[in-house]
Structure 1
Amino acid sequence: MTATLADVAARARVSPATVSRVLNGNYPVAAATRERVLRAVDELDYVLNGPASSLAAATSDLVGILVNDIADPFFGIMAGAAQSEIGGGPGAREKLAVVCNTGGSPERELTYLTLLQRQRAAAVILTGGALEDPGHAAAVAAKLGRLAEAGARIVLCGRPPLVLSGAGSGSGTGVRPAGPVAATLTFDNRGGSRRLTEHLLALGHRRIGYVAGPEERTTTRHRVEGHLAALADAGVAPGPLVHGSYDRRSGYDATLELLRLDPSLTAVVAANDTVALGACAALRDRGLSIPDDVSVAGFDDLPFSTDAVPALTTVRLPLYEAGARAGRLAMGKEPVPPGGIATVHGELMVRGSTGRTRA
């Protein structure tokens, strides 16, 4: 049965008028109340229908760009590049790009997809790694399917291809690509991480610590897998590994923990460049020199990487180029890649933060 506005009001324990105010955004509502209403909208999959659908159709020039953290340059660069490509162009209608900041919350991600469906979005771009949770992946795929059925183009940028568990394709794998996704631009995080660790091994490092990102994110797993594969190929035992957030503070704290676990470390690989800055600060506070005592490497090649002291060795992901391409795909300005999937490779950038181990 299709959910009604009254159903949402009952679930959120508010009046129908309050639900309308939250959804229309035309009246101030307390943050806690707004969250309850949006959660109810998501749980009931509420979408305008009937006579009201004509109002929603008027917003079909809307394009949603979902990011985990707009303050993180990784996401800001991709969102800005995508937005630069989202427009009318010669003879076409202008489009309005809206950046939806999930804060890394899976609930907010689903809620935004529901609201974009309600607004009859022309396209949706999802950026960055995905949550490693089959239930959430299935829920995302279901919402993308409804968006696609309504005519929206769906693009994944910096995510692995979306798959559904338990829906075998006849290959015996038990998974199949999610049909509603029009195009996927997936980053080669494994390959980039492998090359980074191979670089450190070539410099003589054998005691390498790793500051990883959140355990539940695909980006984290893929980068760790590339690192471990390089070590295994070289016959080198893995060093200590500590998980944390993708921020500077996490890099600082995790590096102190790595030094506690193994004071003889000669290199630290960080989940990304921001984490690497925290790692560098922790090493300096311990009186260690970079790279003479400990080498440090990051990932992504964010704009500040070349200005760090010393400049960071990292893997450059073409974030702007990928975001711009996602925008063109979302607007139908560029053909979908063969099979709907294109792999975006990284480039090893060797700078002053890594050097040979001391004899």
Structure 2
Amino acid sequence: MTMRSDGDRRYTVKDVAARAGVSPATVSRVLGGTYPVAASTRTRVMRAVRELDYVANAQARALKGATSKTIAFVVNDVTGPFFAHVAQGVEKQATEEGRLCLVCTTHDDTARELAVIDLMREQSADAVILVGGGIETDEYRDRMVHLAHSLDKAGSRLVLCGRPSLGDDVPATVVEYDNEGGAYSMTSHLLSQGHRKIAYLGAHTSLTTTTARINGFTRAHTDMGLEVDSELIIEGRFLHSFGLTATRRLLAERPDVTAIFAATDMVAAGVLQALRQSDVRCPEDISVVGYDDVPFASDLYPALTTVHIPTDELGRTAVRLAIHRDEYAHNQHVVLGTHIVVRDSVAPPTIRRVRTPDGT
């Protein structure tokens, strides 16, 4: 079991064992994952594997163009509506291209995400598609750059779907959407209706998705000569439960808020539930908007005004550009458009009657 280095040399299990200070049998056990190995030993072995850029079963991959006819779709949580609909686009296009689509979940674990990419490289996947925002740390970025180059050497391809590029010199396909532009347009829509106290629910520290949306949110205020109230940018995960609890707290602490920009439609669903439970009318008392335009957005009450992301096209384009990267060599970074969908959850602000603690 070997893999070609940057030169002509092939590294072997013995090379990895020597680098890690263990026996070749221990290396095989770690890579096979079928035998218990101490965590510290596993760490040393995997560090040596990365440093030598070693991949098992490389003889098959050494044949140029040899792949497993597989597309790997790597996502945080496949039950999320946004991810599920991107996955549908990936699966449809993969089927048309004669590829098998594998769905791998990471559950917000970056170590698991990186391990899955390594595994897919070992399995000679045609492409590894990462969906959703990336972590904005130097360590994470450096590791992703390394994996992009490793996949490229193995004849595979890293695809960033819904997240920005790692740099022009990184061999990766990038299919993103105008994330900042969508947030800018939606915030501008709220401001044009007369809202000045707008809460943003769902800021996520060091996540590219959040960074772009907050930038659009802030820029829309700036272009109208307004300042953003930093206390109204509220951190939280993209979950229904967060929208519910954050809105309850917001109603108690900030009665001046007239509009809520939920980071996702799922968060917006929680917001609307909290408003109903508190007898706060939408949009008469508080306007609510979301982001994604997943199918249930139009079924909420009131029907949700939101930012539309072309999820199916996002998934299909990711597969098509990765599989036919020679044909699309000069078009490996695509930005798809977003637009707002106006429904029933926004109205000009009114003076809201706030109940006192005694219920009057």
Normalised-by-shorter TM-score class = 0.7 to 0.9
For 2:117, give the aligned amino acid: L
User: Is 1:246–2:238 an aligned residue pair?
Assistant: yes
Give 1:61's aligned residue. 69
Q: Deviations over 1:43-89 (max 9, x none)?
A: 7327445xx43466776322211112111111111122112111465
Q: Distance in 2 between matches of 1:153 and 1:231?
A: 39
Give 2:247's aligned residue. 255
Q: Distance in 2 between matches of 1:43 and 1:289?
A: 60
Give 1:15 shift. Answer: 5.2
Q: Distance in 2 between matches of 1:39 and 1:282?
A: 49
Aligned CA RMSD, in angstroms, stands at: 3.1
Give 1:204's aligned residue. 194
Q: Distance in 2 between matches of 1:334 and 1:285?
A: 55
Q: Is the 8 A contact 2:49 2:55 kept in 1?
A: no
**Deviation above 6 Å: which 4+ runs of structure 1?**
7-11, 32-36
Corresponding residue SS for 2:291: coil
TM-score by length of 1: 0.82
User: Is 1:277–2:288 an aligned residue pair?
Assistant: no
Q: Is the 8 A contact 1:63 1:96 kept in 2?
A: yes
Corresponding residue SS for 2:226: coil
Give 2:94's aligned residue. 86
State the identity as a percent.
33
TM-score by length of 2: 0.82
Q: Is the 8 A contact 2:129 2:160 kept in 1?
A: yes
Q: Is the 8 A contact 1:42 1:114 kept in 2?
A: no
Q: Deviations over 1:200-242 (max 9, x none)?
A: 1111111111102311211101101101111111223323111
For 1:100, give the aligned amino acid: C
Work out which of the two has the higher radius of gyration on C-alpha atoms and give 1 or 2: 2
Q: Distance in 1 between matches of 2:286 and 2:339?
A: 22
Of 133-142 and 145-154, more deviation after overlay is shown by 145-154
1:105 to 109, 112, 117: 109
Change (3 A) 1:310 1:115: same
Q: Distance in 2 between matches of 1:101 and 1:145?
A: 22
List alignment gaps of at least 5 residues for structure 2: 6-10, 352-360
Q: Deviations over 1:102-146 (max 9, x none)?
A: 112221121111111211222121211111111111110111101
Change (3 A) 1:200 1:150: same
Q: Distance in 1 between matches of 2:350 and 2:270?
A: 23
Q: Is the 8 A contact 1:273 1:298 kept in 2?
A: yes
Of 40-49 and 308-317, more deviation after overlay is shown by 40-49
Q: Is the 8 A contact 2:243 2:269 kept in 1?
A: yes
Q: Distance in 1 between matches of 2:48 and 2:70?
A: 23
Of 320-329 and 336-345, more deviation after overlay is shown by 336-345
1:19 to 14, 30, 47: 30
Change (3 A) 1:88 1:256: closer
1:303 to 281, 288, 295: 295
Corresponding residue SS for 1:298: strand
For 1:235, give the aligned amino acid: G
Q: Is the 8 A contact 2:74 2:129 kept in 1?
A: yes
Q: Is the 8 A contact 1:82 1:327 kept in 2?
A: yes
